[in-house]
């Protein structure tokens, strides 16, 4: 892709994909986190 | 030098200062600080919204660019970790650290460490390490500021450096009109546009990414690989792991970063911040590395690789745009330097001077200590940056590797492992710091193909586990801390829903009321 | 015996406190046992710092917890002078002079944070008083489980569980 060797393509795109999935996972898992008390 | 560039740069600063003055005048006289009554205003030096300011710094513009320029796509190993550092940090320790710090009433990350791992030694070691390493990190900003200033004004480096330093120090002493929310936001906007513009212009100039890579292959195909120039890092997983670690897991050990968790207004801030962090990083972490790679073809004979990104901007952008963008970049670098100096000064005055030398220090005295240190760092920084300037990349990796090795296990275990005790933490900090320091200074990475942060983190993690377990009986973790970590032990059959919605800023009052109710019961 | 004091006016009354707890503790019956009055030393400062363009002034309202010495900045609030049962009042452990010193330190620190600069603000006390915040002590009962108590902040509605009282006669260690 873009004339890059496979390894490089994996490096450049693989990690971002991983972190996007991680972030989505985090948002899902933490859905129940509550705000404190009744502070406005 | 290009007068249009300078004109727009000056114009930019005048507008920023103007906005700042206006904002200050507007908000000035009858301002009652808005924090909730009784809520603990645990406000560390950096507010929770400065996501951008520390990423837009000397490392980004000089360090990342130079690495990519000299080693090609190898540099992306550093981006790999960096992209996720923010969300990792927030998801793993953000909320828990906020809660624990409120319950212990800690105001700074260093105080937090001493509260969690009670001992004067904790504070002394953590504070000393932080002051030393953050000073090194600031040095990188000085160099970046000086070189940027030299490029813009055409003045010799020694003079430009002095100007940059003077501006930074005056800014730190008097505060900024540039330190107002409006200007921060506006500045970030300009940076976003600027970085995107530079990247876009670079890609267009080289005819697209595929064409660029083909051209790079003509020059040196190894630059396209993941092993660096001449495949120099081929198979060196210890270095690769280090590159990924230092800005991801290692980030959890940087006191000036984790301190932000303590300032979160609500636990749910961590979720939003995590999402923003990833979105932001996806766009902006990779950009400087990519621009650096493209610079290989755009500016093939650069004398100073650190100037890769600046030079690409100068070459490709219209002069007016260059002026504005460079102004925003310089402001960001100075703002990062200012932030770091404030924190370093604060650690020195609170966590060292007041804690160990003069507990009855007045506020004025403590500010004098802070200012003294900032000035000293400025002078030392000037001399070093002039006489034997290290590469920005090198000095940032030096500082962050040791910070990561020394503190990451301590901060992580503080909230995740209730057996992590004081001897364990102290041993971990000392081991992590010394191992990575020796590895750095002795250049052992070359011989062992293990990066300093890889070795340092491994060592400090191992040590905190081994020593904590070994000393559990002679130095157990204080009961009230265990209770917080377990969330249930102290208080019995409390519904989980109630516990999770509790206001932990009320913990100090709660303890008092508990003991008073206990006394009243006895009196009956 | 009644004690007269300056109470911070709050919107959370007895019923509201019980409702708040009921909403997070399903299956439990909350009942307000008492209202305790927690002491703070309040100071209203005018802070001025010198800048390149003259002096800027800022008013900061600061509360020093009169038991734990912890400082906090505060929103505007109203005070009402009331008489309450003396037994419900928690007396301060600090004297005003020390509270003043702590308040000045804390406010200077906050101002420095805001300004992001190493400035020494000039502080002038505009007003000061010993004020009290009401805390509702709510006891929760349930058929099958042991009781527990929660305290509810009468101003913010924030709540915090209270540890069960130690057995009579035992030595109570608190940090």
Kindly list the domain boundaries of chain C, sorted by start residue.
Answer: 2-162
Nearest residue on chain B to A20, alpha-carbon basis: B278
Question: CA-CA distance, B310 to B66, in Å (whole number)?
Answer: 11
**Touching check for B26 and chain C: CB below 8 Å?**
no
pLDDT for residue B288: 92
The pLDDT of residue A37: 46
State mean pLDDT over B410-432: 95
Residue B155 within a domain: yes
Task: Indicate whether B364 pLDDT > 80.
Answer: yes
* CA atoms within 13 A of residue B386's CA, in its CB half-sphere: 16
What is the per-residue pLDDT for C54? 60
Radius of gyration from C-alpha coordinates of chain A: 18
pTM of the predicted model, to two decimals?
A: 0.85
For residue C113, give how far its alpha carbon lies from the nearest alpha carbon of chain B (Å): 6
Lowest mean pLDDT across B14-23, B76-85, B188-197: B14-23
Burial string for C6-33 (b: 16+ CB within 10 Å, else e) reads ebbebebeeebbbebbeebbeebebebe
pLDDT value of residue B23: 63
Q: Taking a contact as any Cβ pair under 8 Å apart, which residues of chain C between 34 and 53 contact chain A?
A: none
Q: How many domains does chain B have?
A: 1
Contact A39 C159 (CB under 8 A): no
Sign of CA dihedral B465, B255, B93, B282: negative
Q: What band does B490 get if pLDDT is binned at 50, 70 and 90?
A: very low
More confident call, B316 vs B480: B316
**B221 lies in some domain:** yes
pLDDT in tens, C99-131: 998 899 888 887 777 777 888 888 899 999 999
**Is residue B345 included in any domain, yes or no?**
yes
pLDDT of residue C171: 39
| CB half-sphere exposure, B2, CA atoms < 13 A | 18
First vs last C-alpha separation in chain B: 85
B238 falls within a domain: yes
Give the domain CATH number at B196: 1.20.1730.10
Residue B20 pLDDT grade (very low, low, confident, very high; cuts 50, 70, 90): low
Average pLDDT over residues A12-35: 90
**Chain C (61-90) residues lying within 8 Å, Cβ to Cβ, of chain B:** 61, 63, 65, 67-68, 70-77, 87, 90
Q: How far apart are CA B41 and CA B48, in angstroms?
A: 13
Cα B387 from Cα B393, distance rounded (Å): 17
d(CA B499, CA C161): 7
- Report d(CA B392, CA B340) in Å as an integer: 16
- Alpha carbons B17 and A19: distance in angstroms, whole number: 38
pLDDT, average across residues B145-155? 88
Answer whether B213 sits within 8 Å of A33, measured CB to CB. no
Cα–chain-centroid distance for residue B273?
Answer: 15
Exposed e or buried b per residue across B57-69, where buried means at least 16 C-beta atoms within 10 angstroms of its C-beta: bbbbbbbbbbbbb
Residue B28 pLDDT exceeds 60: no
Strand segments (E) across C9-142 = 29-51, 54-65, 71-73, 79-85, 122-141
Residue scoring higher pLDDT (B270 or B349): B349
Q: Which residues of chain A make contact with C157, given a CB cutoff of 8 A?
A: 37-39
Whole-number Å distance between alpha carbons of B517 and C149: 11
Mean pLDDT: which of B46-55, B162-171, B218-227, C161-170 is highest? B218-227
Token pair of B428 as six digits: 């971990």
**pLDDT above 80 (res B153):** yes
Which has more confidence, B239 or B56?
B239
Tokens 């303590």 belong to which residue?
A: B262
Whether residue B383 is contained in a domain is answered as yes
Q: Which residues pair with B3 in a beta bridge?
A: none
Predicted local confidence at residue B275, as pLDDT:
85
Domain span at B188:
3-16+47-399
A31-36: long-range pairs with CB below 8 Å, 24+: A32/B500, A33/B95, A33/B267, A33/B268, A33/B270, A33/B271, A33/B500, A34/B267, A34/B268, A34/B500, A34/B501, A35/B266, A35/B267, A35/B268, A35/B501, A36/B266, A36/B267, A36/B501, A36/B502, A36/B503, A36/B504, A36/B505, A36/C158
Residue A36: band (very low, low, confident or very high) from pLDDT cuts 50, 70, 90 = low
Across A14-28, B37-51, B388-402, C33-47, least confident range: B37-51
pLDDT band at B42 (very low <50, low <70, confident <90, very high): very low
Determine whether the interchain pair C158/B38 forms a contact, defined as Cβ–Cβ distance below 8 Å: yes
Contact B275 A27 (CB under 8 A): yes
User: To the nearest whole angstrom, how far is the Cα of C20 from the nearest Cα of chain A?
Assistant: 9
Across the interface, of A19, A20, A35, the residue whose CB is closest to B266 is A35
pLDDT in the model for residue B179: 53
By Cβ distance, the residue of A8, A37, A39 closest to B226 is A8
Question: 3-state DSSP call for residue B388?
Answer: coil
Question: Any chain A CB within 8 A of the CB of C72?
Answer: no
What value, to the nearest 5°, has the Cα angle with vertex C43 and ends C41 and C49? 145
Question: What is the ipTM score, two decimals?
Answer: 0.90
């Amino acid at each position: 892709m873009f004339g890059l060797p496979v390894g490089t393509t994996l490096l450049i795109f693989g990690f971002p994909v991983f972190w996007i999935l991680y972030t989505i996972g985090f948002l899902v898992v933490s859905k129940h986190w509550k705000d404190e008390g009744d502070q406005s | 030098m290009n007068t249009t560039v300078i004109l727009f740069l000056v114009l930019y600063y005048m507008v920023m200062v103007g906005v700042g003055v206006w904002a200050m005048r507007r908000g000035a006289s009858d301002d009652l600080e808005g924090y909730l009554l009784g809520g603990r205003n645990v406000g560390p030096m950096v507010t929770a919204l400065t996501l951008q300011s520390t990423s837009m710094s000397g490392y980004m513009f000089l360090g990342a660019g130079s690495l990519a320029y000299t080693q090609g796509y190898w540099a992306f190993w550093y981006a790999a970790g960096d992209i996720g550092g923010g969300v990792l940090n927030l998801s793993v320790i953000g909320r828990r650290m906020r809660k624990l710090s409120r319950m212990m009433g800690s105001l700074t990350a260093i105080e937090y460490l001493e509260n969690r791992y009670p001992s004067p030694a904790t504070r002394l070691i953590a504070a000393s390490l932080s002051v030393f390493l953050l000073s090194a990190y600031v040095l990188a900003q000085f160099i970046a500021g000086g070189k940027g200033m030299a490029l813009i004004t055409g003045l010799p480096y020694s003079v430009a450096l002095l100007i940059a330093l003077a501006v930074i120090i005056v800014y730190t002493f008097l505060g900024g009109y540039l330190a107002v929310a409006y200007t921060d936001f506006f500045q970030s906007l300009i940076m976003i546009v600027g970085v995107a513009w530079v990247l876009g212009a670079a890609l267009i100039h080289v005819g697209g990414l595929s064409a660029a890579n083909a051209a790079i292959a003509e020059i040196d195909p190894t630059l396209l690989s993941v092993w660096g120039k001449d495949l120099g890092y081929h198979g060196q997983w210890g270095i690769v792991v280090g590159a990924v670690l230092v800005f991801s897991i290692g980030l959890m050990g940087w006191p000036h970063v984790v301190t932000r968790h303590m300032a979160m207004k609500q636990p749910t801030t961590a979720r939003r911040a995590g999402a923003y962090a990833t979105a932001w990083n996806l766009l902006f972490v990779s950009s400087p590395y990519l621009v650096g790679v493209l610079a290989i073809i755009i500016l093939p004979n650069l004398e100073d690789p650190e100037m890769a990104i600046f030079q690409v901007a100068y070459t490709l952008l219209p002069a007016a745009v260059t002026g504005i963008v460079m102004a925003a970049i310089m402001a960001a670098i100075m703002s990062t330097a200012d932030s770091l100096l404030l924190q370093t000064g604060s650690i020195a005055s609170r966590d060292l001077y007041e804690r160990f030398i003069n507990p009855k220090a007045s506020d004025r005295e403590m500010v004098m200590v802070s200012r003294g240190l900032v000035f000293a760092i400025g002078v030392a920084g000037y001399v070093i940056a002039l006489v034997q300037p290290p590469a920005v990349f090198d000095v940032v990796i030096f500082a962050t590797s040791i910070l990561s090795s020394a503190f990451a296990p301590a901060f992580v275990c503080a909230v995740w492992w209730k057996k992590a005790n004081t001897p364990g933490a102290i041993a971990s900090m000392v081991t992590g710091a010394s191992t990575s320091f020796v590895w750095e200074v002795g250049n052992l990475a070359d011989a062992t193909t293990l990066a300093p942060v890889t070795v340092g983190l491994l060592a400090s993690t191992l040590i905190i586990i081994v020593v904590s377990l070994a000393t559990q009986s002679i130095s157990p973790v204080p009961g009230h801390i265990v209770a917080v970590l377990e969330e249930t032990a102290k208080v019995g059959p409390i519904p989980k829903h109630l516990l999770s919605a509790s206001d932990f800023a009320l913990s100090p009052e709660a303890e008092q009321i508990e003991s008073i109710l206990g006394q009243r019961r006895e009196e009956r | 015996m009644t004690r007269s004091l300056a109470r911070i006016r709050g919107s959370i009354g007895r019923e509201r406190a019980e409702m708040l707890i009921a909403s997070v503790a399903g299956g439990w019956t909350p009942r307000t046992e008492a209202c305790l009055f927690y002491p703070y030393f309040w100071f209203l400062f005018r802070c001025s710092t010198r800048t390149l363009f003259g002096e800027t002034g800022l008013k900061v309202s600061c509360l020093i917890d009169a038991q734990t010495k912890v400082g906090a900045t505060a929103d505007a609030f109203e005070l009402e002078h009331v008489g309450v049962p003396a037994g419900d009042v928690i007396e301060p452990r600090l004297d005003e002079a020390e509270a003043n010193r702590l308040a000045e330190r804390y406010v200077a620190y906050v101002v420095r944070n805001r300004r992001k600069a190493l400035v020494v603000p000039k502080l002038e006390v505009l007003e000061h008083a010993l004020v009290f915040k009401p805390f509702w002590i709510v006891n929760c009962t349930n058929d099958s489980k042991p009781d527990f108590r929660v305290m509810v902040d009468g101003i913010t509605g924030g709540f915090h569980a209270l540890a069960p009282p130690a057995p009579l006669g035992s030595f109570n260690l608190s940090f």
